[in-house]
Structure 1
Amino acid sequence: MRPIFTKLLANRQSHLARHLKTAYPATLDVRKAIRAGAGDIIVEPGDAHAGTIGTAFDMFSGLMLIPEYRPLDPGPTRAWTRVHGLINDSLTEFVHATLPDREEDDNFYRAIWVLAELGAIVRTGYSNPDSALEQYIRSKDNAEALLNTAPADSIRQLRALEAVAIEHLYPHLSAPLNASASFPAVQDIVQAESDLIAGDMLLDYKTAAGTPHKTTGARAFFPTESDIYQILGYGLMDDPDDGYGINAVALYAARYGFSTVYELPQLLDYLAGTAVNLDAARASFRFALEADYEAANAR
C-alpha cells in the first residue's frame, strides 16, 4: 500500500512531516510574503462545497489548457462502480463537446461539478450514500437530473474563477503543459499527483478563501505550512535525469488571481536557513518517504 502524499503532510507524526519540519523550518516568512502579495479577494466563497469547488477548478483548468485532458481515469476500486465509470465517460465526452460554447451553457459547469464529485470517490476511496450523486444513481433518473445535482452557487463560483484565471494565470504559462502529473521516481512508494507542470515550473492551485478578519471581515489568502511543503515536496520528487526538469515551484491563489513562484534551490536554502545541496535534499526526502511506505506496509 502506497501512502498518500498530502495525508503524510497532514500527519505530524509521519516520517515525512517530521523530516520537512526539521530540515526546512522557516516557512512563516514565506507564508506571510504570499499573504501580503495576494491582496484582496476577488471570488467570494458561497454555499457550494469548498473542496469540490477546488477539484472542479483543477479539472476545468486541465480542460482549458490541454486538448486531450481527461479529468478522471481511475483504476478499479471497491468504491468505484461500473455506474460511476459510465457517468465519468459520458460527462468527459460532454465537457469536451460543450467547452467551446460554455458561455451560453451552464450545463458545462454542472458537468464539471459532477466530475469533481466523482473525483472525491477516487481520491478518498469512499462514496457517501447520502450524497446527491449517489441518490441520483439510486433513483435511475435522466441525465438532466444528474446535472441538476450541482448547486447553483457552484456555477457562479466556477464562472468567476474562470474569469480570474483567464486574466491572471493561463496567458502566463509556458509549454509543455502536464496536468495531474505523477512522478515516476517515487511512484513505487507514494501516491502523489501535481495540479500542473508548465515548462520547468510546477504549479499548485489553491482555492481557499481565507478566514475573515475578526474586526473588518476582510479575507486574506494565508497558505498553510503544508501548502509550502507540498510544492517543495513535488519539486523534490522530480527526477533530474528522467523527469519534468522542474526548476521552479509555484502557488496560484485562485480566488485572488495571484501567483507566487520560487526557484527550487533558492526556496530550499531559504526554508533551511542555510545552503542546501539539491541532490542530497532529494535523497533525504526519498528516505523519509521510504520510511513511511515501510511503516504503512508493516501494519
Structure 2
Amino acid sequence: MRLLRVGAPGRETPALLDEDGRLRDLSGVTDDLDAAFLAADGLARLAAVPVDELPVRDATGVRVGAPLRPGKIVCIGLNYRDHAAETGAALPTEPVVFLKAPDTVVGPEDPVLIPRGSTRTDWEVELAVVIGRRARYLASTEEALACVAGYAVANDVSEREFQLERGGQWDKGKSCETFNPFGPWLVTADEVPDPQRLGLRLWVNGVLRQDGNTSDMVFPVAEIVRYVSQFMVLYPGDVINTGTPAGVALGQPDPKPYLTAGDVVELEIDGLGRQRQVVAQA
C-alpha cells in the first residue's frame, strides 16, 4: 500500500494511492496515520478493506503532507561507504546515532528554510524506516524487520557549521525548522521486498548531485533497527533515517555548493516516490 496524508498543514487527512494512481479517501477508516493507528494494527485492518470501495478523491491542486505524524526521529550518520570517504571520515565500527526533532518534518513539496545566520545548509537523500510495533532489545535482524511498518523518502537537511563547528552534538545542525521533508508516501514493507536494493537520487537545480544505492550501506536496515533497540525503545510511528550516499555539498571541492534561497531540490528513491522543495530564507 502507498499511504499518504493530504490537505493544508495541520489539517491533513489520510488517503491511499491505488494501483491506477487515484487518490482514495481513508477518513472513513481512520482519523489519521500516526502512532495510534500503527499500534492498533491499523495496517492489517486497512489491508482487509477493499480498495475499490473507498471513495475516490479529486487530487487536483491538493497538497501532500508528510505521510505520518512521527514519534521520535532517530538518524544514522556516516552509513554509506562512499559518503564517509568523501567527508574524510573513517567507516564507523558501530552505527553513529543521533536524534532529530520530530517537528522538523514537513511535506515532500513544502519549502525548506535556510536558518538565519546559515551559510552551509546541505541536502541528504535518505531511506526512512517507519516502525510499526514496539522494538525493545531485539535479539535478531529477523525480529527487527518484523517491526518495520514501511519505508519513505526523507531529506535529512543539515546545517554543517551548526552541526560540526558550534560545539556539542550534531542535533543543532539537524533540527532546524523544515529540515526533514518526508514522503510523499509511506510504502508498506510488503511492497519493498529488499530494502538493500533501492536506488537513491537527488538533484539541485537540475544537476544530479547524489546517485547511490542502499546496497552501499555500512549497516543495513535490519541491523540498524536491531542495534538501536539495544539503546532505546522504538515505538510504532518512530522513524529512522538511515544515512545518505555520496554527493552532499560538504563533500564537494571549494567553493562548496551549499543551498541558497531560490534553489530547487528534487529527490527520489526507487518505488517510494519523489520530492521537490524550493529553498527559502527563514
TM-score range, shorter chain: under 0.3
User: Which structure features the higher share of strand residues?
Assistant: 2
TM-score, normalised to structure 1, is: 0.26
User: Which structure features the higher share of helix residues?
Assistant: 1
TM-score, normalised to structure 2, is: 0.27
Larger radius of gyration: 1
